Structure 1
Amino acid sequence: MIQKTFEILHEPAPLFRLVLEVGEMQLVVTTQNEENTPGKNFEFFSFGKKDNFENVLNEIREQSSLLDKKYQQVKIVWSNSLAQCVPSAVFSEEIAEAVYQNLKNGLTDNKNLLCKNSSITLPYLVNRHQFEVLASHFIDAEYTHKYLEIINHFENFSSSEKTVILVVFYQGHFIICAKQNNQLQFINSLDFSSGTDAVYHILNAVKQLNAEISETRVILSGLIDGDSPLFNEIYKYVPIIDVDAAQNALFLNSDFSEYPSHYFVPFFKYV
Structure 2
Amino acid sequence: MLSAVYQIQVPATVPEDTTGCHLYIDIGADHLTFMVLNTAEREFLALQQFNLEKYNALTHCREVVSHNEWLNKSYDRTIIAYNFSDSILVPEKFYMPAINEPSLSLVYGDMNKGKQFVDHVAEWELYHIYRVPEVLHNIFAAHFPSAEFVHSYSCFLKTKKQSIHETGDELNAVFYNNKLIISLFKDGNLQLMRSFEYETSEDVAYHLLNICRRFDVDCEKVILVISGLIDDHSAVYAELQKYFLLLQLDQRPADFKYSEVFDEYPPHFFTSIFNAALCG
| TM-score in terms of structure 2 length | 0.88
* Aligned twin of 1:239: 245
Equivalent-residue separation in structure 1 for 2:231 and 2:259 (angstroms): 15
Q: Which runs of 5+ in 2 are unaligned?
A: none
- 1:93 matched to 2:100? The reply is no
* Aligned twin of 1:48: 53
Number of residue pairs aligned between Structure 1 and Structure 2: 270
Change (3 A) 1:213 1:57: closer
Equivalent-residue separation in structure 1 for 2:205 and 2:255 (angstroms): 29
CA drift at 1:158: 3.4
Aligned residue type for 2:116: N
Which of 260, 264, 273 is the aligned partner of 1:258? 264
Q: Secondary structure at the match of 1:190?
A: strand
* Aligned twin of 1:21: 26
CA drift at 1:242: 0.7
Preserved contact between residue 167 and residue 188 of structure 2 (Cα < 8 Å): no
Q: Secondary structure at the match of 2:116?
A: strand
Equivalent-residue separation in structure 1 for 2:40 and 2:245 (angstroms): 37
User: Alignment identity in percent?
Assistant: 22
Preserved contact between residue 161 and residue 215 of structure 1 (Cα < 8 Å): no
Q: Secondary structure at the match of 1:255?
A: helix
Deviations 1:224-255 (A, max 9, x none): 10111110000111100111012246655833
Map residues 186-225 of structure 1 onto 2, 5 A cutoff. Answer: 186-225=192-231
Deviations 1:99-125 (A, max 9, x none): 222244032341111111211111101
Q: Which runs of 5+ in 1 are unaligned?
A: none
CA drift at 1:4: 1.3
* Aligned twin of 1:2: 2
Change (3 A) 1:35 1:84: farther
- 1:67 matched to 2:56? The reply is no
Q: Which has the higher contact order (CA 8 A, sep 6+)?
A: 2
CA drift at 1:266: 1.6
CA drift at 1:67: 1.0
Aligned residue type for 2:127: T
- Please, which moves more after superposition, 5-14 or 64-73? 5-14
Preserved contact between residue 37 and residue 44 of structure 2 (Cα < 8 Å): yes
| TM-score in terms of structure 1 length | 0.91
Equivalent-residue separation in structure 1 for 2:224 and 2:236 (angstroms): 14
Aligned residue type for 1:263: F
Deviations 1:92-147 (A, max 9, x none): 12342332222440323411111112111111010010011111111121111011
Change (3 A) 1:256 1:33: closer
Equivalent-residue separation in structure 1 for 2:19 and 2:184 (angstroms): 33
Change (3 A) 1:243 1:77: same
Preserved contact between residue 26 and residue 46 of structure 1 (Cα < 8 Å): yes
Change (3 A) 1:249 1:14: farther
Change (3 A) 1:14 1:255: farther
Change (3 A) 1:48 1:232: same
Map residues 119-138 of structure 1 onto 2, 5 A cutoff. Answer: 119-138=125-144
CA drift at 1:155: 2.3
Equivalent-residue separation in structure 1 for 2:3 and 2:147 (angstroms): 25
Change (3 A) 1:193 1:155: same
Preserved contact between residue 16 and residue 71 of structure 1 (Cα < 8 Å): yes
Q: CA RMSD in A?
A: 2.3
Preserved contact between residue 29 and residue 57 of structure 2 (Cα < 8 Å): no
Q: Secondary structure at the match of 1:256?
A: helix
